[in-house]
Amino acid sequence: MKILAIRVSGYKKLKDNFEINFLNKAKVMDIHKDSGEVLELGNKLYFPTVTAITGKNSSGKSTVLSLIEMCHDLLFEGRIVYDKLMFNKNTIDLVIYFKMEEYIYKYEGSFKGANNLIGEINRTSFCIFIKEELSKVKYSSRLGKNIEKYNYKEVEISPSIDDTSILYNITARKFFAYSISNSKEDNLEQYFLLIEKLPDYLKKGFVNIFDDNIEKLVELRKNDLYLIKFYNEKELELNRHQLLSVLSDGTLKGINLLAITSSILKLGSTLIIDEIENSFHKNLVELILMLFKDKKLNKKNSNIIFSTHYVEILDILRRNDSIWLMDKKEGVIDSKNLYLDFDVRQDISKSSLFNHNYFENLIPLDRLNTLKKGLKNEVPNNV
């Protein structure tokens, strides 16, 4: 079960009819399938295992990820939490193409903001659906990959209450995605929720990737205690808060990411990470991408979508059609695909092109010079 494409109007600063289509655009060869670069969702229906979204600062990367997350939430929960900042018009018009079991579905819907009643300001509000339609077609390779041209047939679904989508009866609890965003507050206690589900050998294995001074880490399963032993030191029985104090923040985040990845791979779900380099070291990022692309581990078609400023990460991706560049002009966000919109050979270093401003992603030199002049004026001559 995957979201194949999204088209939207009225969402934040995205241009009208903003679209992102995840299906392959370049030819898929055996090396791409064997290396785990693509998932085969059906006969000749290829989907990227790893999708990277990049662009210069404030180009719209986080906005696009929030759209993708919202669509997954809609399919999973059947509702959209209201946020007035989502709307740049009175309504948002949304089209989602997704695959579930043997069928490709096309969802078309329009929704508006919630109507808060007096005394309910602090209550979670959900968007109101104005118009919805769902259609489907049984997938066959003869249909090709131009999903917009399929001959869909409408699915008859009884209408629901106005803050719940018709999708609820079809997709609820089936399209799980886990999102890691730097805009959300870190609660170190939540790291234990997934970690405690891991067997002890995996706990220690995960920990040793980030801190090889730990000889033993075992959950005692009594009073939330852990047994931890550092090399050449005595064993310690620690509660959660004490354990948090002896492990570094980076170690905790790394363990948690591996635990999340382990769960995603088991479920066949989607992992969404905003600004992946801000929380995780390059080596850890490479490890996570390697785990997703390992066909022996990723047996249920799990995938990862992330945004990054760290363009060196892009060099480990074999396919240009899995890389998207966000571009904001006059306050409006658009997207470009590295394969469709640029003449870039696959064997050329993508990071080198970025660093040489091939994609016009660097801060213009005249702006830097203006900034330097301004800073010089602020520094007293007698300092």
Tell me the domains of the chain and their CATH numbers.
2-176+269-378 (3.40.50), 184-267 (no CATH)
Sign of CA dihedral 289, 291, 295, 297: negative
Q: What is the pLDDT along the chain (383 residues), one digit of tens a residue?
A: 899 999 999 999 999 999 999 999 999 999 999 999 999 999 999 999 999 999 988 899 999 999 999 999 999 999 999 999 999 999 999 999 999 999 999 999 999 998 755 445 556 799 999 999 999 999 999 999 999 999 999 999 887 788 999 999 899 888 788 988 754 445 555 566 666 777 777 777 888 888 889 888 888 866 678 889 999 999 999 988 888 888 887 787 888 888 889 889 999 999 999 988 876 778 888 999 999 999 999 999 999 999 998 888 999 899 999 999 999 999 999 999 999 999 888 888 998 898 888 887 766 666 667 777 777 777 776 65
Length of the chain: 383
Pairing of strands 45-48, 270-273: unpaired
Q: Which helix (H) or strand (E) holds 210?
A: helix 200-210
- DSSP H helix total and E strand total for the chain: 11, 17
Residue located via tokens 């050329």 = 348
- Contact status, residue 26 vs residue 320, Cβ threshold 8 Å: yes
| DSSP 8-state class, residue 14 | B
Q: Which helix (H) or strand (E) holds 91?
A: strand 91-100
At residue 72's C-alpha, the angle toward residues 70 and 77, to 5°, is: 90
Closest CA to 117 of 76, 177, 163: 163
